[in-house]
Structure 1
Amino acid sequence: MPDYAPQFYDPLDTRNITSVICRELEAQPLIPLVPETPRFDGSGLYAIYYASEAESLYAPLVPHDIPVYVGQSLSHNSATGVAISGRTPLWSRVRGHARSIEGGGLRLTEFAVRLLRMPDVHADLGENGLRVNYQPVWNAILRGFGSNEQGSSTRQSARSKWDTVHQGRNRSYGDSTHDRDKLIEEARRHISTRIAQLGDVPWR
């Protein structure tokens, strides 16, 4: 018999916990990203999906169940540990994203979301796992979707890549430094690559 050693498995290894969290998120129902989503308490993890064929840039993602954006909402400030104000951080965060999508000239009815309430530490692991393994196009290429305009310094910043491609959000910008056509082509190539590498996602 050739040399043999049993496989080592640690169920509490960070990679294993991350896979469990991401698998659980993807087991949640895909619900429409519409204003009528009932208000709920709690913080946690979310993933936003394109769910139509109208936008040729994002339509290839649909059959593969790959999100366009992932994130988390926290129950406590990560720097101070102080509890945030308000009881609905996850609901509020996603509602803000819905307004951004509409503001960017996209049809909100063509998007959907998965939501999972969970402790901050686990939401952080889940978000990292989703970002690293899927590299969602709005996280990795068309950055700036999740940003908030917070004052004069932000208003003087250059238009984000997301806002260059999807113009119309009600905010001010400094100089525009990105080429829209080049960004769209970069995003298209990125999406093709992520689809081709879907088999590398450990929990799928």
Structure 2
Amino acid sequence: MKNKSHTAEIIPFNPLDKKNLGASVAEALVSQPAHPLGAITSFFGAGIYAIYYHGDHAAYGPISKPNQVDTTSPSIPIYVGKAVPQGARKGKIMPDPTRSKALFSRLQEHAESIQATETLSIDDFTCRYLVVDEIWIPLGESLMIAKFSPLWNLIVEGFGNHDPGAGRYNGLRPRWDTLHPGRAWALKCKERSESEAEIACEVRNHLANTVLPETPHFVGRHDL
């Protein structure tokens, strides 16, 4: 009986495919220079960003050590986010992005959150940011999160939270604020059942069972 030959299916590359368009945005972000998070100068624009940690917190060793090799060119982000102009999320007429400081303001908020903690130093953080036309922001952010599974996006949630305001402190304190106490508004929220030590242990276990990307880049896009 003759063996049947199987011809491998070749899928032509489509530069306009949604994932490829998103990958081009993500690649542009990871190709940007890294800046100290605590020393960013004011700029205009909305877009996406990645925050990197290279300090000595015991729970973050597997991601901080690769970043310590060259702190000017970190590879594994601890958090990825986006910033859109005020009013964009409510479906209003899109403000002129060139007059918005949404991205700068968001990074400033994050720097202040870190500076408020008792367990982190702002000097141990760098960031990359990319001003992007608003239509491409969600694509770039989602691919960055899918590739790197940043700890503060998926395991230690709450870093990007805002003060819920008076009368809304009945919710649980974010996991991020339990592991890194210091933000005044978070201290007003209800304590979680997990302790700081338990969350740190969960982080270590997660990292011990996580395969980090071999490259921070999206060239080739075989993992999409």
TM-score, structure 1 length as denominator?
0.88
Tell me: CA distance 1:4–1:193, structure 2 relative to 1, closer, same or farther (3 Å).
closer
Tell me: CA distance 1:200–1:41, structure 2 relative to 1, closer, same or farther (3 Å).
closer
Tell me: CA distance 1:138–1:84, structure 2 relative to 1, closer, same or farther (3 Å).
farther
Q: CA deviation at 1:95?
A: 0.3
Corresponding residue for residue 181 of structure 2 = 167
Matched, 1:203 2:207: no
User: Could you tell me whether the CA contact under 8 Å between 1:41 and 1:88 is conserved in 2?
Assistant: yes
Q: CA deviation at 1:101?
A: 0.7
User: Could you tell me whether the CA contact under 8 Å between 1:47 and 1:115 is conserved in 2?
Assistant: yes
Corresponding residue for residue 130 of structure 1 = 144
Q: Distance in 1 between matches of 2:197 and 2:111?
A: 24
Tell me: CA distance 1:5–1:157, structure 2 relative to 1, closer, same or farther (3 Å).
closer
Q: 1:149 aligns with which of 154, 163, 168?
A: 163
String of CA shifts for 1:69-123, please: whole Å, max 9, x gaps: 1100002522323446972110000000000011122100000000100012211
User: Could you tell me whether the CA contact under 8 Å between 1:159 and 1:177 is conserved in 2?
Assistant: no
What SS does structure 2 have at the residue aligned with 1:154?
coil
Q: 1:87 aligns with which of 97, 100, 107?
A: 100
Task: Give the percent of matched residue pairs that are identical in Structure 1 and Structure 2.
Answer: 28
Specify every segment of 5 or more residues in structure 2 that has no aligned partner in the other structure, as ranges.
Answer: 68-74, 220-224
Matched, 1:30 2:34: yes
Tell me: CA distance 1:169–1:84, structure 2 relative to 1, closer, same or farther (3 Å).
farther
Higher-Rg structure is: 2
5 Å-filtered alignment, 1:179-190, equals: 179-190=195-206
Q: 1:114 aligns with which of 116, 119, 128?
A: 128
Corresponding residue for residue 66 of structure 1 = 76
Q: CA deviation at 1:202?
A: 7.8
Specify every segment of 5 or more residues in structure 1 that has no aligned partner in the other structure, as ranges.
Answer: none
Matched, 1:44 2:37: no
What SS does structure 2 have at the residue aligned with 1:150?
coil
What SS does structure 1 have at the residue aligned with 2:77?
coil
Corresponding residue for residue 70 of structure 2 = none
Give the AA of the match of 2:17: D
Tell me: CA distance 1:198–1:163, structure 2 relative to 1, closer, same or farther (3 Å).
same
- Number of residue pairs the alignment of both structures matches: 201
CA RMSD of aligned residues (A): 2.4
User: Could you tell me whether the CA contact under 8 Å between 1:73 and 1:93 is conserved in 2?
Assistant: yes
String of CA shifts for 1:168-197, please: whole Å, max 9, x gaps: 112121243322222111111223333x24
TM-score, structure 2 length as denominator?
0.81
Q: CA deviation at 1:2?
A: 6.2
Q: CA deviation at 1:57?
A: 1.9
User: Could you tell me whether the CA contact under 8 Å between 2:30 and 2:216 is conserved in 1?
Assistant: no
Q: Distance in 2 between matches of 1:123 and 1:101?
A: 24
